[in-house]
Amino acid sequence: MKELVNFILQYGNLNQQQIDLITSKASELELPKDEYFSEAGKISTQVGFVLDGVMRVCYYDNKGEEITKYFIDEKNLVVDLESFQNSICSSAYVQAVTDCKLLVFSKHDWEELLNTIVGWDAIVHKIIARALMQKIERRSPLVSEDATTRYLSFMEKYPKILNRIPLSYLASYLGITQSSLSRIRKNIR
């Protein structure tokens, strides 16, 4: 729980009473490897905060290929924003890549907090804007760089994630086939 509080306070100040109220609404969720936090075709009704483990967001493209859109690791919010905010069916899956431990808020509680705590919405907006900008910054270079460079950048930026995810997920994240990634790794050694 301390992790969550520290995370929040990076984005703005709250008094102890407000913090207590927020944490009182969080419940722990253990999500075993491969299980889904939210699924395509369903409406997402939870906001999560990753205490432990790695998750991913993925979808199936028009050829039926499974594409990993991004990875989410410790001390980050995990939420299918489009679906959660607008109560519409999601087009993506959010899945535990390893066994995960989360703190989760129900949509009901989350909205109650937004209506109750003055300044909480500003903090949430800041968190979301920051997270979205990060996703853009991470994904953009993948369009223009060659495959080896993408892999090297990933190694450099996310060494902690690298060894916890299957190669196939990483390959689809990087936009290359698993065999190509395997060959790239061989050449680097």
Partner DNA sequence: GAAAACATTTGCCATTTGGCAAAAAGCGAT
Partner DNA sequence: ATCGCTTTTTGCCAAATGGCAAATGTTTTC
Q: Considering the complex, what minimum distance in angstroms separates the CB of residue 58 from a second copy?
A: 11
Assess 133 for contact with a second copy (CB under 8 A): yes
Q: Considering the complex, what minimum distance in angstroms separates the CB of residue 57 from a second copy?
A: 10
CB nearer to a second copy: pick between 46 and 68: 68
Do residues 101 and 73 lie in contact, with contact meaning Cβ atoms separated by under 8 Å?
no
Task: Report the DSSP beta bridge partners of residue 162.
Answer: none
Assess 118 for contact with a second copy (CB under 8 A): no
**Residues of this chain that bind DNA (CB under 7 A):** 146-148, 166-168, 175-186
> Within a 13 Å sphere around the CA of 123, how many CA atoms are in the beta-carbon half?
22
Assess 127 for contact with a second copy (CB under 8 A): no
CB nearer to DNA: pick between 25 and 183: 183
CB nearer to DNA: pick between 7 and 158: 158
Supply the angle between the helices 147-157 and 178-188 in degrees, to the nearest 10. Answer: 70
Among 2, 13, 17, 61, binds a second copy (CB under 8 A): 61
Segment near a second copy (CB under 8 A); pick from 36-44, 48-56, 131-139, 181-189: 131-139
Assess 67 for contact with a second copy (CB under 8 A): yes
Assess 147 for contact with a second copy (CB under 8 A): no
Residues at the interface with a second copy (CB under 8 A): 61, 65, 67, 69, 81-82, 121-122, 125, 128-129, 132-133, 135-136, 139-145, 172, 174-175
